[in-house]
Structure 1
Amino acid sequence: MGKYDRIFQSDAVFEEFLSPEEAVAAILLKGVAYANAIVTAAADSSLENLEIEWFADILSGFEVFEEHANDELLEILDRLITLANISQGNAKSEGLGALFNSANDSLADELVLDGFAAGVSVLVDEDKLIIPKPKTPLLKQLQEALEIEDTEAEEVIDSVLNAFAESEDENENIDIYESPLGNFRLPIPVTPEQGGKIQSQEGTVGFSDDLGTLLRIDYYPIPDNQIEEMRSLGQQQYFQSILLNKYIPQVIVSNLPEANVVYTDNCVDVIEGAFFALANMPDGASISRQEENGHSQRLDAYRGLIIFSYCNFLYIISSQRCFFDGETHNSIEEEAELIKAEILEFIDSIEFK
């Protein structure tokens, strides 16, 4: 018996199939390709040590997943792992075989190559940009199980390797900011050509430019007594208290007395629980307009803020929306959703450690 026959030649199937809703998310929305990649990665490594965030990041680069947010990919992955009993390490071989069979049975013809490409991606040696020889038997059996011709398989492998090479070239040209505490890193979101500036001090870093961009990260290690307070109050109540009663009064209102909170939202499905607030800041933007008398006057702005915790750090991440002369405001709810989406996109670019 080949090393991977117990997976790719297993007769096991799930007694519980995906619900219609999960089928839409996991199959019609290309979740089947995701399942095939899980099998490929899991077959040759410990699932307990699988870096799920990295795995989701790999798949987010596929066109078939372009409409999926990172949280959605993680949810699909968690669901599939649960179905296969992988997370508990129970019946690993049978679980992987059943996962592969259930995915493959539902795999639409047009997604076969996507499934194979996802499997190839998790086997690439990113430093050498090759498929390591010890991994080639696994890749060959995945190819045969999906009934892919050698020519097509070679084209997919070449395409995946080229994509990794292009990504590496792009990353070499991206400037990275890393927190002095080493708890996060991210591509710098502003450029010198647009007047980009980085202002960093203990516990905070801000990125701004001449176009009105302002993205700020405040971060604090959470001491034990605050962890206890969070447990006592409840996470959402704790976040709300910190943001509305401490941070905004001390950081914003103390400098802009007319600033006030106009919208709040408990984002329980964001980053395992977060809290959002929108502050109206008259004359509070980071950029100014020139008055006829030669004086400069700061623009009006909204500041959106999201607070959450990760690995015993408290994060408050914010962004501003400047209002230039003559620009019409949307409703508060619409402005809140726009700036919240912008902050979440910024958060997706951050690698937390």
Structure 2
Amino acid sequence: MTKYDYIFHSSEISEESLSPEEAVAAIAVVTAIADSAVEEVDPETLGSILWEFEVFEEYSEDEITEIVDRLIGIAEDEGLGALYNAASEVLSDDLVLDAFAAGVIVLIDDEEELVIPQKKQPYLKKLQDALDLEDEEAQEIVQEIIAAFQEAENEEYLEEDYSEDIYESPLGNFTVPIPVDSQQGGKVQSQEGVVGFSDDFGTLLRIDYYPIPPEQVNEMGSIGQEEYLQSILVDKYVPQAILANVPNAQVEYSEYLSDMMAGAYFVLINMPQGSTISKQENNGTATRLDAYRGLLSFIDAEFLYIVSSQRSFLKDEIRGSVEEEAEDIKESILEFVETIDFT
């Protein structure tokens, strides 16, 4: 029996069931504990790492920490083999790479040379084999994560401490005053093609941006800008960024704004239990609030932008009509867009 067979070739069955997203987090927990004691794993630290993953985009940091804490408890009570088996059972094909990446990011030594330490490589190889990944796939993920760490180190600012209150896109296509306050839990999360601003009071402002390839310029010319923006927003962005995480969300309002940004398309999405903030229930569980998400797509120079904002609702809060809510959130997005300096 090799060192990690007790994890990857265990016959132990957990009494707990996991969601596919929790399975990704479980791989990170298994990796963190594999060569350490359970008590050495800090749920908050591991939760903050996982929160950067796109798969957890619709979760709050507190929710991720709660998930990690629960998974650590399963590992402690039932063993790493049982936790890995529970994760493996529900890990969907489209999340296998995320799961491996979650393991990689736990193993990387980010204090020295940004490498996988030699003593950790046997475990990583076992994880790769267990997830049935080819060497080329695995190496590509390792390189991408190391590159992401390097990029973060090269940034002129840190998420927790901005010397100036201005965010500048890494591609140089826009700057924007940071609209959240760190003293109110304000955070700036940035990765390739997207930056989000959030705080503890439910503020969520996000800018997705994509260079428009030549073939899409031709497509827009043939079908018209309104249909192009609608297609990008409703047929592609909403299913991938919203419905994948909140399956019962639905578009309730849409509008083409011909006089805004030389043409912009707006939609309002109803997201039951889809807010980024939660409410603590009497039984101690945390339930995400209902929310509306407004999305505005438009083109500036050679970039497509999708700017979004969230409005969360307390359990007994009375909503306005769909049209009223759409107007309010649309205006808040337009006010935010006015602060963006496109370059």
TM bracket (short chain): 0.5 to 0.7
Query: Whole-Å Cα distance in 1 between the matches of residues 164 and 258 of structure 2?
Result: 33
Is 1:213 the equivalent of 2:191? no
Query: Whole-Å Cα distance in 2 between the matches of residues 304 and 259 of structure 1?
Result: 12
Which AA in structure 2 matches 1:297?
T
Match of 1:292 in 2: 282
Q: Secondary structure at the match of 2:276?
A: coil
Match of 1:229 in 2: 219
2:263 to 265, 269, 273: 273
2:301 to 303, 306, 311: 311
Offset from partner CA, 1:163-192 (integer Å, 9 cap, x none): xxxxxxxxx995100000000001100011
Which AA in structure 2 matches 1:304?
G
RMSD: 1.3
Query: Whole-Å Cα distance in 2 between the matches of residues 248 and 352 of structure 1?
Result: 24
Query: Whole-Å Cα distance in 2 between the matches of residues 342 and 199 of structure 1?
Result: 20
Which AA in structure 1 matches 2:338?
D
Query: Whole-Å Cα distance in 1 between the matches of residues 314 and 338 of structure 2?
Result: 28
Match of 1:327 in 2: 317
For residues 7-156 of structure 1, the aligned pairs below 5 Å read none
Is 1:252 the equivalent of 2:239? no
Any stretches of 5+ residues in structure 1 without a counterpart? 1-171
Match of 2:253 in 1: 263
4+ residue runs over 3 A deviation: none
Which AA in structure 2 matches 1:251?
A
Offset from partner CA, 1:25-69 (integer Å, 9 cap, x none): xxxxxxxxxxxxxxxxxxxxxxxxxxxxxxxxxxxxxxxxxxxxx
Offset from partner CA, 1:203-261 (integer Å, 9 cap, x none): 00000001000000000000000100011110000000000000000100011100000
Which AA in structure 1 matches 2:238?
I
Q: Secondary structure at the match of 1:236?
A: helix
Match of 2:184 in 1: 194
Aligned-pair distance for 1:325? 2.7
Q: TM-score, normalised by structure 1?
A: 0.51
Which AA in structure 1 matches 2:246?
L
Any stretches of 5+ residues in structure 2 without a counterpart? 1-161
Q: TM-score, normalised by structure 2?
A: 0.52
Q: Secondary structure at the match of 1:270?
A: coil
- Percent identical among aligned pairs is 60
Query: Whole-Å Cα distance in 1 between the matches of residues 175 and 283 of structure 2?
Result: 43
Q: Secondary structure at the match of 1:286?
A: coil
Query: Whole-Å Cα distance in 1 between the matches of residues 225 and 248 of structure 2?
Result: 29
Aligned-pair distance for 1:199? 1.1
Match of 2:326 in 1: 336
Q: Secondary structure at the match of 2:279?
A: strand
Offset from partner CA, 1:57-112 (integer Å, 9 cap, x none): xxxxxxxxxxxxxxxxxxxxxxxxxxxxxxxxxxxxxxxxxxxxxxxxxxxxxxxx
Query: Whole-Å Cα distance in 2 between the matches of residues 349 and 287 of structure 1?
Result: 25
Q: Secondary structure at the match of 1:278?
A: strand
Match of 1:45 in 2: none
Which AA in structure 1 matches 2:294?
G
294 and 303 in structure 1: CA distance in 2 versus 1, 3 angstrom threshold: same
Match of 1:3 in 2: none
Question: Larger C-alpha radius of gyration, 1 or 2?
Answer: 1
1:238 to 228, 251, 269: 228
Q: Secondary structure at the match of 1:325?
A: coil
